């Protein structure tokens, strides 16, 4: 028999905490899914987008006073994925 190290050996899997890593990744995915489906979070993101848009409208109006040919900036809408990372 070969004394070559097998990466699928039960002792190696347990010593590398593979099961713990899988559990942590699954728990993280479930938590993120729950956050994405939360209606309060969706409302807050929508409100944040609206406030950002209003802020940039004011900035664009102020800039037009000094430079009438200035092109207005339109920010992209934020999503929950942008905030979670």
DSSP code of residue 84: H
> How do residues 21-42 score in pLDDT, each as one tens digit?
888 889 989 988 998 999 999 9
Confidence of residue 14 (pLDDT cuts 50, 70, 90): low
Q: Which helix (H) or strand (E) holds 61?
A: helix 39-66
Please give the model's pTM, rounded to 2 decimal places.
0.66
Domain boundaries, the chain: 39-85
What span, in angstroms and rounded, lies between the C-alpha atoms of 35 and 49?
Answer: 18
**pLDDT on residue 56:** 95
């Amino acid at each position: 028999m070969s004394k070559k190290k097998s990466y699928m050996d039960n002792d190696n899997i347990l010593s590398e905490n593979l099961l713990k890593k899988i559990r942590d990744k699954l728990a993280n995915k479930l938590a993120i899914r729950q956050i994405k489906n939360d209606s309060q979070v969706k409302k807050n993101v929508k409100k944040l987008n609206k406030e950002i848009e209003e802020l940039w409208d004011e900035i664009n109006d102020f800039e037009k006073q000094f430079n009438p040919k200035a092109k207005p900036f339109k920010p992209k809408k934020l999503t929950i994925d942008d905030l979670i990372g």
